[in-house]
Amino acid sequence: MSTDKVADLLERNKELSKSYKRPPLLGEGLEKRKKTGAKGTVIISCADPRITPEHFLGLNFGECAIVRNGGGRTSDAIRSILDLDALGAMGTIVVIHHTDCGMTYLTEKEFSDRTEEKHPDFAGTHPGFDYGAIHDPEKTVVADVEYLKSFPSLAEKMTIAGLVLDTFTGELKRLI
Ligand SMILES: [Zn+2]
């Protein structure tokens, strides 16, 4: 097997593409939703490879849009939320933070210091950048939902919930 990760991934895709079935066209789904008035759901979750909403939520293929970033922070996901809603109305946003999250391993200052060291070109041109460190996921998930709800157009039109996944038990707890 190749030690090159990209080559490895391409090789795996080559195998899998042999049995690939194309999904329904996006445009058809959007049209259908427009006619029935059905609204979409978007899950905001962490980029951690161990945290896969498809699995711990038992999602069906194509059921929810999923936006993942470091920590599942909503300030980072807002562009995708707005874009998804522009394409086809969204009705529910579920924000999920989790225990043992990488974003709790460093403080905001440590993220900032390390970035200054490793990527001075970025840090130098982005003073005061929000790296999104998490101290307590039960608090940040509430703050992140409140951030979304601070926009009345989102708060009035959508159900916005904040959950924390306990990575030790696999259970979700709703905080807001
Ligand atoms: Zn995480």
Neighbours of ion ligand 1 (CB under 5 A): 46, 48, 101
Residue 1: its pLDDT value, please? Answer: 52
Architecture of the 26-174 domain: 3-Layer(aba) Sandwich (3.40)
Annotated binding-site residue? 55: no
Separation of CA 21 and ligand 1 centre (Å): 31
Separation of CA 159 and ligand 1 centre (Å): 23
pLDDT digits (tens, 9 = 90+) for 13-40: 999 999 999 999 999 999 999 999 999 9
CB 45 within 8 A of CB 68: yes
Annotated binding-site residue? 98: yes
Strands 159-165 and 172-174: antiparallel
Burial of 70-97, coded b for 16+ CB within 10 Å and e otherwise, reads bbbbbebbbebbeebbeebbbeebbbbb
pTM of this structure? 0.95
What is the chain's mean pLDDT, rounded? Answer: 96
Neighbours of 66 (CB within 10 A): 18
3-class DSSP string for 31-56 = HHHHHHCCCEEEEEEECCCCCCHHHH
Separation of CA 102 and ligand 1 centre (Å): 5
